[in-house]
């Protein structure tokens, strides 16, 4: 082989290798999951126990991880914030161990510290959500203690309805957010002095309680509807909660403006079924209306009554 050709081949191959490996390296860095980047933190916080070396006495100590400092690594990886490094939100000083005590005095970021005024997140209406939150009973009862994270665990939160998931999964997911405090006194008493919580008892009036709890989100009745938000954040005092059945069980079902809002927005152009999006996954008496069946039933009923009327006329005229 001509030495000059050989030199060219070497140059081309080395260029290709460089380009491919170079790009590959960049892509791998981009795709590096949060858990990889956070390996150092999750080594302790991703487990129920952790070990550290007591340098003074040369002892390896194993301790239990405090439950509210434990991070479910799978839930975190799947969450909306799963791509972040721990130190994107927490102080970089946490990278040293033992962590300095004063770090815990620092205030946590709220949603709008990152999302506020960002056109990229405008579709999520974070600014309106914040305004609604300040109107909510939750904030007004405990302004110092209640914040975004009281409901939305930053380490596991993921959007549900807005991504068009199954309604039943959305209901379970969203209700679990409420039940985290409202069915657990240890969490509940962090935010209030009230001691007795028994949502089964307070909802005794609700017919088919179990069925409602499984298929309807707490927020359908306990929040003010909001036209511009997919999920209202104005949680109302219990005295203002919806109690009229027909708010949901009617043609103008409230569920269409809340639980089924995303799906109704998606299928707004389709015609035929009134409240069709409810029909796709469930059955809500009074809210499920089928336009064609309605017309057909009116026609059949009209024909029967017309037949009876005409027959009656003949009987009258032929009576003699």
Partner 1 sequence: MASEKLYLYPIWIRIWHWVNAILFITLLVTGVSMQYSNPENPLLISFERSVELHNLCGILISLNYLLFIIGNLFTSNGKQYKMKTKGLLTRIFNQSVYYLFGMFKKQDAPYPISAENKFNPMQRFIYSTAMYVGFPIIIASGAAMLFPEIIVPQVFGFSGLLLTAIVHVIIGFILSLFLFIHLYVCTIGSSISSNFKSMITGWH
User: Residue numbers of the site for partner 1 (CB under 8 A)?
Assistant: 207-208, 211, 244-246, 249-251, 279-283, 285-286, 288, 297, 300-301, 304-305, 308, 311-312, 314-315, 318
Q: CB-wise, 71 or 287, nearer to partner 1?
A: 287
Q: Which pair of tokens denotes residue 243?
A: 């109690």
Q: Contact, 128 vs 116, CB < 8 A?
A: no
**Across the strands, what pairs with 36?**
none
Least distance from partner 1 to the Cβ atom of residue 43, Å: 42
Q: CB-wise, 35 or 267, nearer to partner 1?
A: 267
Q: CB-wise, 147 or 215, nearer to partner 1?
A: 215
Q: CB-wise, 123 or 318, nearer to partner 1?
A: 318
Least distance from partner 1 to the Cβ atom of residue 222, Å: 19
Q: How far apart are CA 259 and CA 244, in angstroms?
A: 17
Q: How far apart are CA 62 and CA 168, in angstroms?
A: 41
Least distance from partner 1 to the Cβ atom of residue 202, Å: 18
Least distance from partner 1 to the Cβ atom of residue 219, Å: 21
Q: CB-wise, 147 or 253, nearer to partner 1?
A: 253
Q: CB-wise, 57 or 309, nearer to partner 1?
A: 309
Least distance from partner 1 to the Cβ atom of residue 37, Å: 40
Least distance from partner 1 to the Cβ atom of residue 318, Å: 4
Residue in 200, 195, 257 with CA at minimum distance from that of residue 230: 257
* Cα torsion angle, 308, 314, 315, 316, sign: positive
Q: How many CB atoms lie within 10 A of CB 26?
A: 10
Q: How far apart are CA 236 and CA 136, in angstroms?
A: 6
Residue in 193, 177, 93 with CA at minimum distance from that of residue 142: 193
What 3-state DSSP class applies to 54? strand
């Amino acid at each position: 082989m001509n030495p000059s050709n050989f030199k060219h081949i070497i140059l081309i191959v080395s260029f290709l290798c460089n380009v491919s490996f170079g790009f590959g390296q960049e892509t791998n860095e981009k795709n590096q999951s949060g858990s990889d980047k956070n390996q150092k933190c999750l080594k302790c916080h991703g487990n129920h126990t952790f070990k550290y070396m007591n340098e003074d006495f040369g002892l390896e100590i194993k301790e239990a991880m405090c439950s509210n400092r434990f991070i479910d690594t799978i839930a975190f990886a799947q969450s909306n914030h799963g791509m972040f490094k721990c130190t994107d939100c927490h102080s970089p000083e946490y990278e040293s161990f033992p962590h300095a005590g004063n770090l815990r005095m620092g205030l946590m970021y709220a949603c709008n510290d990152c999302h506020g005024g960002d056109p990229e997140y405008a579709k999520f209406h974070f600014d309106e959500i914040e305004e609604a939150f300040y109107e909510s009973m939750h904030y007004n009862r405990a302004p110092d203690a209640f914040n975004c994270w009281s409901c939305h665990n930053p380490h596991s939160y993921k959007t549900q309805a807005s991504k068009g998931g199954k309604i039943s999964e959305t209901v379970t997911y969203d209700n679990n957010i409420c039940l985290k405090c409202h069915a657990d006194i240890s969490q509940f008493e962090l935010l209030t002095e009230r001691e007795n919580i028994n949502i089964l008892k307070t909802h005794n009036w609700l017919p088919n309680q179990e069925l409602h709890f499984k298929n309807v989100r707490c927020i359908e009745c306990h929040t003010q509807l909001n036209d511009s938000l997919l999920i209202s954040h104005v949680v109302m005092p219990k005295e203002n909660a919806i109690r009229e059945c027909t708010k949901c069980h009617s043609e103008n079902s409230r569920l269409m403006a809340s639980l089924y809002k995303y799906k109704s927005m998606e299928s707004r152009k389709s015609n035929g079924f009134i409240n069709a999006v409810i029909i796709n996954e469930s059955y809500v008496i009074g809210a499920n209306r089928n336009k064609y069946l309605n017309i057909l039933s009116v026609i059949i009923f009209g024909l029967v009554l017309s037949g009876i009327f005409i027959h009656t006329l003949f009987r009258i005229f032929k009576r003699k």
